[in-house]
C-alpha cells in the first residue's frame, strides 16, 4: 500500500511540475548590418503570453484566434521589448509573425534603426508584470560579437556591440 501511495505522489508532483510555466523566455537576436536591424525570434510560454497580453489589452486575447491576437501581441511586445543606440535613438519594432506550438509560441520581429548602431542597449520587460522572476535568455550574433546575455527583473538591460564603424 505504501508503494502505491508513493507512486501516486510522484505522479502528482510530475504532473504539477509539467503544468507549471518555467518563467523563462528565449530570444535569438542577430544584427543585420545591411538593414541596420536586430532580427528577433523569441520563444514565449503560450499561457503566460495570453495572460500578459490580455491584461495589457484590457480584454481577453486568445491564441485560438490568431488574426485577432497578433496586433495585440505586437503592441505588447513594442512596449516591453526595445533597443536603442548609443545616442538614445530607439529602434522601431516591425512585426514579422508568430508560430503557435501549443505550449509555447515563437514571435518574430525586427528592431530597426535608421542608421548603423555602434552600440546597442537591449531591454526586455516582457512578462515581468506577471512574474518578477521572469528571465529572458538572449543569444546574440553580429559581425563583431556573439554570446549569450541574461535579462532579468533586476537587470532588464544589456549593452551589446553594434556595427563596427568604417575606418
30-59 pLDDT, tens digit each: 999 999 999 999 999 999 999 999 999 999
Structural element, H or E, at residue 52? helix 46-57
Compute the distance between CA of residue 81 and CA of residue 111 in angstroms, rounded to an integer: 9
Q: How far is CA 23 from the centre of its chain?
A: 11
* From 63-67, 85-89, 112-116, 159-163, the region with the lowest mean pLDDT: 159-163
Contacts of 90 (CB under 8 A, 6+ apart): 82, 83, 84
* Res 18: pLDDT: 41
118-138 pLDDT, tens digit each: 999 999 999 999 999 999 999
61-110 pLDDT, tens digit each: 999 999 999 999 999 999 999 999 999 999 999 999 999 988 999 999 99
What pLDDT band is residue 7 in, cutting at 50, 70 and 90? Answer: very low
The pLDDT of residue 167 is above 70: no
What pLDDT band is residue 158 in, cutting at 50, 70 and 90? Answer: very high
Verdict on whether the full-model pTM lies above 0.75: yes
Distances (CA, A) of 160 to 59, 106, 146, 167: 36, 23, 9, 20
Contact 41, 98 (CB under 8 A): no
Amino acid at each position: 500500500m505504501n508503494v502505491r501511495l508513493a507512486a501516486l505522489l510522484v505522479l502528482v508532483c510530475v504532473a504539477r511540475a509539467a503544468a507549471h510555466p518555467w518563467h523563462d523566455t528565449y530570444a535569438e537576436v542577430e544584427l543585420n548590418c545591411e538593414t541596420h536591424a536586430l532580427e528577433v525570434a523569441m520563444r514565449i510560454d503560450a499561457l503566460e503570453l495570453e495572460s500578459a497580453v490580455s491584461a495589457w489589452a484590457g480584454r481577453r486575447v486568445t491564441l485560438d484566434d490568431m488574426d485577432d491576437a497578433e496586433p495585440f501581441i505586437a503592441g505588447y511586445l513594442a512596449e516591453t521589448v526595445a533597443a536603442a543606440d548609443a545616442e538614445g535613438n530607439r529602434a522601431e519594432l516591425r512585426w514579422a509573425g508568430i508560430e503557435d506550438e501549443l505550449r509555447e509560441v515563437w514571435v518574430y520581429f525586427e528592431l530597426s534603426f535608421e542608421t548603423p548602431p555602434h552600440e546597442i542597449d537591449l531591454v526586455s520587460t516582457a512578462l515581468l508584470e506577471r512574474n518578477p522572476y521572469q528571465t529572458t535568455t538572449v543569444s546574440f550574433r553580429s559581425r563583431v560579437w556573439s554570446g549569450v546575455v541574461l535579462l532579468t527583473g533586476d537587470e532588464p538591460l544589456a549593452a551589446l556591440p553594434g556595427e563596427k564603424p568604417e575606418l
